[in-house]
Structure 1
């Protein structure tokens, strides 16, 4: 069926459910706050309307949301644009969720590690079982299907058998030493509050499973503007698994609330031990200071400004594919490449190949195969950054315009063209904001290094990456083992280094999140949530050793 014919079949606002397929009716989901193992009514609702509605009829979409938030019994609740709703937590609910987590923490922490570790594999199985349902919700929230599949691939690796085996090794190790049994183990921090980002809330909130595996109890805030998929994952998939494992009520709590209001309550509540915070670097670093002042552990996932290096002997076609990953989701993903450093000997050919790859990145409805661009609602900063770069001497290679759904350039389009900008020289490259900071747009600066001896260029490339004030991921494209070894041994910035590989791809064992500098704050490093929300403890169990002998010897 064509898009046009589907649009023609959309009933008017206020139409009844009569004639709608049962599968559509079943997709209208409703979630209240989940506190201490039960559903708790809040103060009103926030509604999720399919992303398609914003592309077809933004006026009707906005009107339906406003009407329903004022009157949930309105006939608009039956409109096919409506996917679901989530109850809004009160201040009392926010505190009650933490109180429930406090009450449950001793019981869950006492649960044997082997039992808690089972949560990872059975959650992965549950994700696979409900894959299409979750994909449909992510697409309703404006994630292109291919991007949603990539997000689920992250969870597949995070909870793979290899990764879960490695987590188990890190959580407890035993040694025999003379007449003692020595244990090095990790203990849960206690109550962990999670504030996932708006651009990918459900996959980020799913990291709560790792935090639960560590023995912590959890409170998650589902973002008000995009709450449904988060509530689905935690309420429908994770909560039943915890019940199967005998977790006490309150081990997992999920609320939908205002961000600042919720964070303020978490900072004030003495029961919160850790806060996993996703957000911008400036706000996040201020929040880190507040956490430390209140005696809470801040775990920060902030902005990224990832570098991708292309050396003279690189497979340029594959490198160009990796560079094009910067446009996925219209660049509104922290772990995509944000700038490219190109060897001058291959810069021209590389730019040509990147231009070809741009043609494979297109807008469209989220459910359409091949769509990789997402709508960008606020694009003023994009044009401001682009204008600054061009005024300062950069060259616009391609892109730079708004487009309609079909890719046609338009002053009123809700998509942005994939945009490539050429910057000459490493020396002054960071005077361009598009090189110095994360842009969060489909915009990549390709920095062409000054011609120089390869040994000198190699040092300059390494220094450039290490001097980045951010540090999430870096990647290199080169075939020389000497060049690869130099990068592997000398790059110390960031939580992950990829060599001749997808910049955004996920792998078992390796971290999916975490970084240094403005990405992770003062305590930033690769983020394995099971480790970041626990702490090391050494244990010695003696078999009849005399204390005096232990101190002074025989």
Structure 2
């Protein structure tokens, strides 16, 4: 990555450099791109403190830097990148029909001047799709350079790709845009800015044949129902004063049920009055100098005219003392009544970017007939629908019925949050994008990998598509040597824990192994692990992100692969060292033979995590070592060493550390010499002796436990709190 100041020719020159790098990048296998960006994300996490320093230099307090820094780190998280990679190529129910996202080419990313570091985070998503990026950033913004150059650029260079895939141009936005309109190399413009400028960019861009993605204004609603979690709602509401109310995704209008209005307003007033400036409180202060103090005064006057200002309403200095010429705005709360003309007020029809936040009352004066809950709900929905912004909406309620009414009715927002922090970064959904003035006529939740790519249908054998677009697997290795296949689980940094990608790649490897067996080109299969372990079982971090149905599907996919392995008409060897626990032990139990080194450690610790096995370990272990010993290991989760496993009859051979390769070579020589017909007949006879398979009751028990745990924790509609980033 290099950088230059804008001039009539500089954007063209840089765009050509990006385009040249992008031509190679876009044809790089998806798994290669994924690996490079995972590395970039890891580099950024390792420099989290530097990232926080950059955000503090942008004016944020330490608390806000941590919160919004979490947004950035999340975009580079391995599990999110891997999920995105799966979305870029999806199969259909029809064999040989695949949906593929193709990169647009060169994307011009125009970040806003007040939050360039935070809005550099979409780089990960845009690049993973196969694009190159020319981005605008302020000349002195260190956060952009940290992400784009020192993390992404360095990862590209180390992998042999041109760091010019990401170029940063500094200078004023308008001259840059003028140059981009005439730049043939730029295919897509992603523009962060206000709605008026966004309309102009869209018109000018579309006129010259460019795709335009608009990330514009946000001034959205948070709803608090009578039974809502008051403390949770207040904590979320205080995000409305972050950075003096400049960020788009924070709550800026509070629609409050009369049954909780008094308590909510009291809590909001007390908390707002206690807020301090970043200068006075560098650790936790959310208030920064206002870009437009006159705008603050206008909204204060509007609030007084419309209703009651219960706190704030004055300009102040950094110490929080009232000053007529102060550049800070005291956090203000305005009580306004729901009325027919409310949407014409600047408090609702224009973006709020100063700390004046309205609370809308839906009750009638004392002594008059009060609206019913149905009437209040309808009025709230109408008001949210009438606000001309659509980034987000959030609702706090203990009632599933009320929540469902809002979910059903609020279709014109990019992100809808139930009982969660309004400004959160969801784990796999986008924190950006929305319809109305927030994103223009094509606005929606902006998954930037999707917005900067286009959909293609491919009719071809799945193996051809995978070979062309995915590239070689990175989490499962497969080698054929003289009719013996070696499958290597390859996540050594996680002791080869099984995640969705590894499970998918294992299935791909087994497809090739099965094809070799059908072609009479297979005499044996070795299953082993890279690094210091055989396999540590399912990735618990990944499982924690799945609902009960998703967890069941994942376990079924893994179990199906194990069945495919077990049913092969050739001998299967598990070559075990290090950890062989949980699902890893179940892998080994599906093999005909286990050879282990002295450092191997076995166990089924699922019971210690409050779970159960899922692939038939109960039946297999009982048959292998007898019920008393199997019951002890299964019901306590106790780990045991290789010598104990050998004595129990689990192992065919126990070898010294470092002797596994030699043992595998001897085994391979032996199975290559065996006539296939006799081996296949022997496998069929052994299968007939297997007895009942316990995988289905195990899986049902596992799903029931996960479902009960999720229900007990209230996961799903809740979560996404301020610390979740």
User: Taking structure 2 as the reference length, what is the TM-score of the superposition?
Assistant: 0.61
Which stretch shifts more, 334-343 or 126-135?
A: 126-135
Q: Counterpart of 1:440?
A: 353
Match of residue 182 from structure 1: 97
Give, in angstroms, the shift of residue 106 of structure 1.
Answer: 1.7
Deviates more, 1:142-151 or 1:440-449: 142-151
Partners of 2:64 and 2:284 within 8 A in 1 = no
Distance 1:528 1:367 in 2: 35
2:308 match = 395
Query: Which moves more between the two structures, 367-376 or 283-292?
Result: 367-376
- 454 and 334 in structure 1: CA distance in 2 versus 1, 3 angstrom threshold: same
Counting only pairs closer than 5 Å after superposition, residues 71-470 of structure 1 correspond to structure 2 as 88-175=5-92, 177=94, 181-224=96-139, 226-365=140-279, 368-391=282-305, 393-450=306-363, 451-470=370-389
**Shift in Å, 1:489:** 1.9
Q: In structure 2, what is the Cα distance between the partners aligned to 1:183 and 1:252? A: 30
CA contact (8 A) 1:303 1:334 kept: yes
Distance 1:464 1:176, change over 3 A: closer
CA distance in 2, matches of 1:89, 1:424: 49
Candidates 403, 407, 426, aligned match of 1:507? 426
> Which residue number in structure 2 is paired with residue 482 of structure 1?
401
Give the deviation of 1:176 after TM superposition.
7.2
Asked if the contact 2:273/2:311 (under 8 Å) is kept, the reply is: no
* 8 Å CA contact retained: 1:195, 1:276: yes
1:90 is displaced (CA, Å) by: 3.0
2:693 corresponding residue in structure 1: none
Structure 2: how far apart are the matches of 1:341 and 1:174?
A: 43
* Deviation for aligned residue 1:426: 4.2
Contact 2:220 2:390 in 1 (8 A): yes
Q: Give the superposed CA RMSD.
A: 1.9
Q: Which runs of 5+ in 2 are unaligned?
A: 364-369, 463-725
Q: How many residues are paired up?
A: 456
Cα deviation, 1:393-423, whole Å, max 9, x if unaligned, reads 3211100112222212222322211111110
| Cα displacement string for residues 247-279 of structure 1 (whole angstroms, at most 9, x for unaligned residues) | 235311111122111111111111110011000
Give the distance between the partners of 2:82 and 2:62, measured in 1 at CA. 30
Report if the CA contact (8 A) 2:393-2:413 is conserved: yes
Offset from partner CA, 1:323-345 (integer Å, 9 cap, x none):
11100110010111111111122
Assess if the C-alpha contact under 8 Å between 2:193 and 2:216 holds in 1: yes
Q: Match of 2:117, SS?
A: helix
User: Hey, what does 1:541 align to over in structure 2?
Assistant: 460
Could you say which residue in structure 2 is the equivalent of 1:71?
Answer: none
Helix, strand or coil: the match of 2:90?
A: strand
Name the CA distance, whole Å, in 2 between partners of 1:366 and 1:502. 26
* Cα-to-partner distance string for 1:12-67 (whole Å, 9 max, x where unaligned): xxxxxxxxxxxxxxxxxxxxxx44xxxx6x5xxxxxxxxxxxxxxxxxxxxxxxxx
Alpha carbons 1:321, 1:354 under 8 Å: kept: no
Please list, as runs of the form range in 1=range in 2, the aligned pairs for 1:28-43 lying within 5 A after superposition.
Answer: 34-35=1-2
Contact persistence 2:156–2:163 (CA under 8 A) = no
1:383 CA displacement: 0.3
- Post-superposition Cα deviations, 1:177-217, rounded to whole Å, max 9, x if no partner, equal 4xx62221100000000110112101212311211111001
Q: Tell me the SS of whatever aligns to 1:123.
A: helix
Measured in 2, the distance between the counterparts of 1:542 and 1:317 equals 55
Aligned residues of 1:389 and 1:432 also touching (Cα < 8 A) = no
**Distance in 2 (alpha carbons) for counterparts of 1:447 and 1:281:** 25
Give the Cα–Cα distance (whole angstroms) in 2 for the partners of residues 297 and 196 of structure 1.
Answer: 17
Larger Rg: 2
Q: Which residue of 1 aligns with 2:554?
A: none
Greater mean alpha carbon deviation, residues 427-436 or residues 326-335: 427-436
**CA deviation after TM superposition for structure 1 residue 366, in Å:** 8.0
2:137 partner SS: strand
Change (3 A) 1:251 1:122: same
Structure 1 runs (4+) greater than 6 angstroms displaced: none
Q: Is the 8 A contact 2:348 2:387 kept in 1?
A: no
Query: Secondary structure of the residue that 1:471 maps to in structure 2?
Result: coil
SS at the partner of 2:371?
Answer: coil
SS of corresponding position for 1:300: strand
Distance 1:326 1:437, change over 3 A: same
Structure showing greater relative contact order (alpha-carbon pairs closer than 8 Å, 6 or more residues apart): 1
Which secondary structure state, in structure 1, belongs to the residue aligned with residue 441 of structure 2? helix
Unaligned runs of 5+ in 1: 1-33, 43-87, 544-554
Q: Structure 2 vs 1, CA of residues 522 and 358 (structure 1 numbering), >3 Å: closer, same or farther?
A: same
Please name the residue that 1:55 is paired with: none
Report the CA distance shift for 1:377/1:249 in structure 2 as closer, same or farther (over 3 A).
Answer: closer
Q: Show CA shifts across 1:498-543 (max 9, x none).
A: 1111111112111110100110111110011111101110001269
Give 1:168 shift: 1.6
Quote how far apart the aligned CAs of 1:459 are: 1.7
Segment drifting more, 318-327 vs 329-338? 318-327
Residue aligning to 1:47 = none
Shift of 1:98: 0.6
Give the whole-Å Cα distance in 2 for the aligned partners of 1:495 and 1:375. 29
CA contact (8 A) 2:243 2:286 kept: yes
**CA contact under 8 A between 2:60 and 2:278: conserved in structure 1?**
no
CA distance in 2, matches of 1:295, 1:329: 37
